[in-house]
């Protein structure tokens, strides 16, 4: 039997249930939508703060670095002349040959000079024969800032030791003095002489030039030392010091400016005479003399020959 009240209550119940279901559906859809991650967006790179410090740093990085300091001998050319060589052994004593010692020292000196920026040439860098004319001609062709001829001495008396340097032009005398000073101090040699002599490689050499005798091979102690690499290093170091000191004070142009040798006028030796020196002293027939005309006293008479 139809009852309006009964069916009205039923309708209300149905409406309530339908409303509840709709609300639940909406809530579920809303919750699902919230779980979907938002699409990613590009993140801008952080910018460096425009601070004074950052501006200083940027400006500093643009400042050029300090240019390298010039080496002491940069722009200088030195010609080294290792005495003797090849068929010419030079002095020989106790199986030690002068040509071998002079080449060893010269090669060490070349390395030291190059590390200080010098351009180094050698009349020989191996065991080969050269004439004195070829050595002097090489210097006059090259026009170096300095010419240095390296030798070892010999004498009949085995007790004699010491250092000798030779010069022939006034401009060479100061270098010869530096050689004598640096070598005698560096090698602890007491006996030393600086001599004016018209040796072939010096007389007519248009570059500043000097010849050095680094020790006596006929002295047993000196001979043993000169045969060792360690002592040769000491000799080369002393020679380097001489070259550096000499060229540091020279503001004149390179060599090849021939002047009148003072020794040609006075014709006497500073220190002691070399009567027939084994290095071959002169182009003239007479020996060098002191002002008094007497032979200077020296404990040795060198071997004959030419440098």
pLDDT by residue (tens digit) across 146-161? Answer: 999 999 999 999 999 9
Q: What is the pLDDT of residue 280?
A: 42
* C-alpha span between 200 and 133 (Å, rounded): 8
Contact criterion met (CB below 8 Å) for 102 and 150: yes
Q: What is the pLDDT of residue 214?
A: 98
Which of 207, 203, 179 minimizes the C-alpha distance to 193?
179
* Angle, vertex CA 307, rays to CA 204 and CA 284, nearest 5: 60
Q: What is the pLDDT of residue 64?
A: 59
Q: Band of the pLDDT at 15, cuts 50, 70, 90?
A: low
Provide the CATH topology of domain 77-266: Aminopeptidase (3.40.630)
Over residues 80-106, the pLDDT tens digits come to 999 999 999 999 999 999 999 999 999
Domain residue extents for the chain:
77-266
Contact criterion met (CB below 8 Å) for 139 and 205: yes
* C-alpha span between 131 and 281 (Å, rounded): 15
Q: Band of the pLDDT at 273, cuts 50, 70, 90?
A: very low
Contact criterion met (CB below 8 Å) for 85 and 78: no
Q: What is the pLDDT of residue 69?
A: 76
Q: Average pLDDT of 24-38?
A: 45
E strand or H helix that includes residue 78: strand 77-82
The answer to whether residue 206 scores a pLDDT higher than 80 is: yes
pTM > 0.95: no
Helices marked H in the chain — which ranges?
4-35, 52-61, 98-115, 132-142, 170-187, 220-226, 229-248, 262-266
Q: What is the pLDDT of residue 57?
A: 52
E strand or H helix that includes residue 211: strand 209-216
Which residue has better confidence, 269 or 98? 98
């Amino acid at each position: 039997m139809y009852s309006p009240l009964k069916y009205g209550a039923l309708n209300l119940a149905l409406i309530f249930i339908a409303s509840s279901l709709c609300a639940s559906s909406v809530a579920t859809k809303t919750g699902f939508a919230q779980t979907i991650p938002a699409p990613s967006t590009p993140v801008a790179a952080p910018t460096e703060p425009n601070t004074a410090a950052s501006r200083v740093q940027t400006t500093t990085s643009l400042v050029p670095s300090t240019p390298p300091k010039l080496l002491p001998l940069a722009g200088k050319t030195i010609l080294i002349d290792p005495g003797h060589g090849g068929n010419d052994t030079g002095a020989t004593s106790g199986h030690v040959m002068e040509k071998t010692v002079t080449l060893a020292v010269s090669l060490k000196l070349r390395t030291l000079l190059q590390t200080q920026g010098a351009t180094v040439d050698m009349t020989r860098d191996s065991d080969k024969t050269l004439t004195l004319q070829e050595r002097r001609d090489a210097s006059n062709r090259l026009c170096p800032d300095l010419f240095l001829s390296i030798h070892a001495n010999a004498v009949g008396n085995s007790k004699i030791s010491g250092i000798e340097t030779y010069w022939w032009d006034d401009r060479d005398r100061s270098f010869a003095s530096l050689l004598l000073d640096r070598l005698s101090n560096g090698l602890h040699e007491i006996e030393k002489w600086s001599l004016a002599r018209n040796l072939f490689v010096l007389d007519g050499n248009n570059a500043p030039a000097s010849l050095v005798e680094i020790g006596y091979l006929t002295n047993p102690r000196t001979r043993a030392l000169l045969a060792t690499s360690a002592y040769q290093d000491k000799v080369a170091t002393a020679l380097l010091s001489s070259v550096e000191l000499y060229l540091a004070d020279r503001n004149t142009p390179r060599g090849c400016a021939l002047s009148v040798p003072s020794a040609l006028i006075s014709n006497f030796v500073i220190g002691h005479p070399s009567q027939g020196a084994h290095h071959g002293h002169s182009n003239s027939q007479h020996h060098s003399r002191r002002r008094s005309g007497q032979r200077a006293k020296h404990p040795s008479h060198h071997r004959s020959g030419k440098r």
